[in-house]
């Protein structure tokens, strides 16, 4: 009788072992992943190098682009994306450029509009919106560059191509040399898109964090409301002191900081993080990465060029003097 009573239990135990074994060999439920870590691997790789997949720099000058487009060899011509309004694109643009809204970037990646087989050059008004796209595309594995200073660096007679000229003529602010430091650490954001690959998570975060429309903040906002922001001076340490920085800004060194393995945990998750550089083009790329990591981050438009132009000895905007009309239509 005892053996008969134990038999059902034995059969149940064998059945459970079989089910568990099958689950291990052929899982029906997708394994949970740490979404933040997957995205951080991609952002760390990009922010520590600022190079394209072909090893080039992420910014290209109009002179270099002009030479490429007029060398008589169309096989090396890049795929050019113009992120300006349709009206301004139609009034004048670089020959062959395709007009895309930044908000539609992911759609155009997924539907194959943006080719994987060609170098990509992103163009906007000032080079800052295009820098957001450049950051995203490089993290997706495209070979993408930003046209330095955008159409403002091509011809200031083009509609809305005087943004830099107008900005550097604005009232200037005084930089300070006194250092601000922070040692408080914070937990990383928790991402829960339900996706299992870095690319898919980044795409979901691009939409969830409204990256296309919320990446920028003006210098006036930051200077007039300093308590609202955690401000990052994204320069080498010596330049943080000379020519100086926004009062209260913290120094983070390009390529070695803001990585998940180095100082990223100093960023608060309950406050808007503002990143600024010389021109706003590098900081726009940083902020795109921070936003897909889950941070509330903004790039200070025009960088220090926009509020302390005369204090700079390098990385200054200059009005274009070349004739690049041969590549415009």
Confidence of residue 26 (pLDDT cuts 50, 70, 90): low
Task: Give the rounded percent of residues in the chain with a pLDDT score beyond 90.
Answer: 88
Residues linked to residue 79 through DSSP beta bridges, in sequence order:
120
Confidence of residue 170 (pLDDT cuts 50, 70, 90): confident
The mean pLDDT of 311-319, rounded to a whole number, is 94
What's the rounded Cα separation, in Å, for the pair 52 and 303? 23
Taking a C-beta distance cutoff of 8 angstroms, is the pair 263, 245 a contact?
no
What's the rounded Cα separation, in Å, for the pair 61 and 79? 15
The mean pLDDT of 198-227, rounded to a whole number, is 96
Confidence of residue 9 (pLDDT cuts 50, 70, 90): very low
Q: Where are the alpha helices (DSSP H) in the chain?
A: 2-25, 35-47, 62-69, 86-91, 105-110, 129-139, 163-168, 198-208, 211-214, 219-224, 237-241, 281-292
The pLDDT tens digits for 139-149 are 999 999 999 99
Confidence of residue 6 (pLDDT cuts 50, 70, 90): very low
Whole-number pLDDT of residue 169? 87
CA 226 distance to own-chain centroid: 23
Calculate the average pLDDT of the chain: 92
Taking a C-beta distance cutoff of 8 angstroms, is the pair 62, 151 a contact?
no
Q: Does the structure show a pLDDT above 80 at 31?
A: no
Confidence of residue 29 (pLDDT cuts 50, 70, 90): low
Q: Does the structure show a pLDDT above 50 at 4?
A: no
Domains and CATH numbers, the chain: 35-169 (3.40.250.10), 198-311 (3.40.250.10)
Inter-axis angle of helices 35-47 and 198-208, to 10 degrees? 90
Whole-number pLDDT of residue 30? 57
Assigned token pair, 208: 């969830």
Whole-number pLDDT of residue 14? 35
Q: Does the structure show a pLDDT above 80 at 244?
A: yes
The mean pLDDT of 148-173, rounded to a whole number, is 95
Q: Quick one: DSSP state of residue 51? A: B
What's the rounded Cα separation, in Å, for the pair 317 and 279? 8
Whole-number pLDDT of residue 279? 97
Q: Please name the residues in contact with 149: beta carbons below 8 A apart, sequence gap of 6 or more.
A: 62, 126, 127, 164, 279, 281, 317
Closest by Cα among 147, 152, 161 to 61 = 147
Q: Does the structure show a pLDDT above 90 at 165?
A: yes
The pLDDT tens digits for 37-82 are 999 999 999 999 999 989 999 999 999 999 999 999 999 999 999 9
Assigned token pair, 37: 């870590």
Q: Does the structure show a pLDDT above 80 at 27?
A: no
What's the rounded Cα separation, in Å, for the pair 279 and 319? 14
Whole-number pLDDT of residue 20? 40
The mean pLDDT of 308-321, rounded to a whole number, is 95
What's the rounded Cα separation, in Å, for the pair 142 and 78? 12
The mean pLDDT of 299-310, rounded to a whole number, is 96
Quickly count: other Cβ atoms within 10 Å of residue 144's Cβ.
Answer: 26
Q: Does the structure show a pLDDT above 50 at 34?
A: yes
Tell me if residue 238 falls in helix, strand or coil: helix
Assigned token pair, 180: 């601000």
Q: Please name the residues in contact with 285: beta carbons below 8 A apart, sequence gap of 6 or more.
A: 46, 50, 58, 131, 132, 134, 135, 146
Tell me if residue 93 falls in helix, strand or coil: coil
Give 30 or 262, the one with higher predicted confidence: 262
Whole-number pLDDT of residue 208? 96
The mean pLDDT of 222-239, rounded to a whole number, is 96
Whole-number pLDDT of residue 115? 97
Whole-number pLDDT of residue 109? 98
Q: What is the pTM of this model?
A: 0.89
The pLDDT tens digits for 95-104 are 999 999 999 9
């Amino acid at each position: 009788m005892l053996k008969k009573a134990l038999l059902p239990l034995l059969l149940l135990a064998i059945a459970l072992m079989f089910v568990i074994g099958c689950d291990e060999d052929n899982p029906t439920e997708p394994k949970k992943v740490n979404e933040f870590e997957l995205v951080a691997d991609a952002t760390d790789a990009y922010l520590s190098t600022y190079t394209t997949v072909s090893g080039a720099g992420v910014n290209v000058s109009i002179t270099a682009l002009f030479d490429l487009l007029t060398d008589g060899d169309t096989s090396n011509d890049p795929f050019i994306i113009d992120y300006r309004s349709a009206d301004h694109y139609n009034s004048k643009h670089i020959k062959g450029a395709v007009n895309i809204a930044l908000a539609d970037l992911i759609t155009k990646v997924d539907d194959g509009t943006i080719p994987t087989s060609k170098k990509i050059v992103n163009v906007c008004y000032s080079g800052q919106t295009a820098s957001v796209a450049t950051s995203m595309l490089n993290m997706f594995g495209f070979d993408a560059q930003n046209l330095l200073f955008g159409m403002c660096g091509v011809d200031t007679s083009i509609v809305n191509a005087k943004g830099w000229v107008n900005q550097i003529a604005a009232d200037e602010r005084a930089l300070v040399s006194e250092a601000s430091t922070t040692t408080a650490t914070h937990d990383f954001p928790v991402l829960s898109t339900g996706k299992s690959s870095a690319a898919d998570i980044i795409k979901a975060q691009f939409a969830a964090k409204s990256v296309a429309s919320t990446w920028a903040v003006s210098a006036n906002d930051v200077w007039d409301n300093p308590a609202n922001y955690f401000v990052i001076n994204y320069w080498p340490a010596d330049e943080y002191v000379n020519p100086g920085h926004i009062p209260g800004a913290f120094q983070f060194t390009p390529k070695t900081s803001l990585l998940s393995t180095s100082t990223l945990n100093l960023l608060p998750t309950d406050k808007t993080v503002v990143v600024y550089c010389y021109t706003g083009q590098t900081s726009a790329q940083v902020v795109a990465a921070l936003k897909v990591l889950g941070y509330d981050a903004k790039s200070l438009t025009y960088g220090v060029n926009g509020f302390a132009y005369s204090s700079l000895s390098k990385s200054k905007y200059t009005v274009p003097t070349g004739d690049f009309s041969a590549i415009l239509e």
